[in-house]
Structure 1
Amino acid sequence: MPASRLTVVVTRRLPEVVETRLKELFDVELRDPDQPMTREELAAAMRRADVLVPTITDTIDAGLLAQAGEKLKLIANYGAGFDHIDVATARQRGILVSNTPGVSTEDTADMVMALMLAVVRHIPEGLHLIKSGGWTGWSPMANLGGRLGGRRLGILGMGRIGQAVARRARAFGLQVHYHNRKRLRPEIEAEHEATWWESLDQMLARVDIVSVNCPHTPSTFHLLNARRLKLMKPSAVVVNTSRGEVIDQNALTRALRAGELAGAGLDVYEHGTDINPRLVDLPNVVLLPHMGSATLEGRIEMGEKVIINIKTFADGHRPPDQVVPGMY
Structure 2
Amino acid sequence: MFKQITIIDKTGLQEWAIEKLGKYSENPIKVYDDIPSSEEEAAKRIEDADCVFVSWNTQLTAKVMSNAKALKYVGMCCSLYDKKSANVDIDYADKSGIMVKGIRDYGDEGLIEYILSELIRLLKGIGKQQWKENPVELTGRKVGIIGMGTTGQMLADRLQAFGANVSYYNRSRKPQVEENGVNYLTLDELITSSEIISLHLPKNTTILSEEEFTKLGDGKILINTSLGFTFDKSAFDHWISNPTNYAIFDGDGIGQHKEEYDKSENILSTEVVAGWTIEAQERLSQKVLDHVIAFINNESR
- Normalising by the smaller structure, the TM-score range is 0.7 to 0.9
State how 1:232-271 maps to structure 2 within 5 Å. 232-259=216-243, 262-268=245-251
Indicate the residue corresponding to 2:30 in structure 1. 29
Aligned-pair CA distance for 1:163: 0.5
191, 209, 218: which one pairs with 1:204?
Answer: 191
Say if 1:119 and 1:284, in contact at 8 Å, map to a contact too: no
Name the amino acid aligned to 2:9.
T
Aligned-pair CA distance for 1:76: 0.2
Q: Output one character per residue of 1:154-194: Cα deviation in whole Å (capped at 9) or x when no partner.
A: 00011111100010000111111000111111x43122x11
Say if 1:17 and 1:300, in contact at 8 Å, map to a contact too: no
* Corresponding residue SS for 1:238: strand
Say if 1:238 and 1:265, in contact at 8 Å, map to a contact too: yes
Indicate the residue corresponding to 2:67 in structure 1. 68
Query: For the structure 1 residues 285 and 46, does the alpha-carbon distance in structure 2 shift closer, same or farther, using more than 3 Å as the test?
Result: same
Say if 1:76 and 1:99, in contact at 8 Å, map to a contact too: yes
Aligned-pair CA distance for 1:245: 3.1
Query: For the structure 1 residues 123 and 77, does the alpha-carbon distance in structure 2 shift closer, same or farther, using more than 3 Å as the test?
Result: farther
Unaligned residue ranges in structure 1 (runs of 5+): 127-141, 319-328
Say if 2:8 and 2:42, in contact at 8 Å, map to a contact too: no
The normalised TM-score by structure 2 is: 0.87
95, 106, 109: which one pairs with 1:106?
Answer: 109
Q: Output one character per residue of 1:190-220: Cα deviation in whole Å (capped at 9) or x when no partner.
A: 22x11101x2122101101111012135xxx
Indicate the residue corresponding to 1:42 in structure 2. 42
Counterpart-to-counterpart distance in 2, 1:115 and 1:271:
15
Counterpart-to-counterpart distance in 2, 1:194 and 1:271:
28
1:283 aligns with 2:265: yes
Q: Output one character per residue of 1:59-79: Cα deviation in whole Å (capped at 9) or x when no partner.
A: 1233333x3322111110111
Name the amino acid aligned to 1:148.
L
Query: For the structure 1 residues 13 and 75, does the alpha-carbon distance in structure 2 shift closer, same or farther, using more than 3 Å as the test?
Result: closer
Counterpart-to-counterpart distance in 1, 2:21 and 2:187:
44
Query: For the structure 1 residues 161 and 227, does the alpha-carbon distance in structure 2 shift closer, same or farther, using more than 3 Å as the test?
Result: same
Counterpart-to-counterpart distance in 1, 2:11 and 2:152:
29
1:163 aligns with 2:153: yes
1:314 aligns with 2:296: yes
* Corresponding residue SS for 1:97: strand
Aligned-pair CA distance for 1:274: 4.0
Q: Output one character per residue of 1:125-155: Cα deviation in whole Å (capped at 9) or x when no partner.
A: 17xxxxxxxxxxxxxxx98443211111100
Residues 202-211 or 88-97, more deviating: 88-97
Aligned-pair CA distance for 1:105: 2.6
Q: Which has the higher contact order (CA 8 A, sep 6+)?
A: 1
Query: For the structure 1 residues 269 and 78, does the alpha-carbon distance in structure 2 shift closer, same or farther, using more than 3 Å as the test?
Result: closer
Say if 1:240 and 1:268, in contact at 8 Å, map to a contact too: no
Name the amino acid aligned to 1:53.
F
* Corresponding residue SS for 1:310: helix
1:184 aligns with 2:174: yes
Say if 1:262 and 1:284, in contact at 8 Å, map to a contact too: yes
Count the aligned residue pairs: 291
Aligned-pair CA distance for 1:280: 2.0
Indicate the residue corresponding to 2:141 in structure 1. 151
Indicate the residue corresponding to 1:11 in structure 2. 9
Counterpart-to-counterpart distance in 2, 1:249 and 1:293:
24
Say if 1:179 and 1:200, in contact at 8 Å, map to a contact too: yes
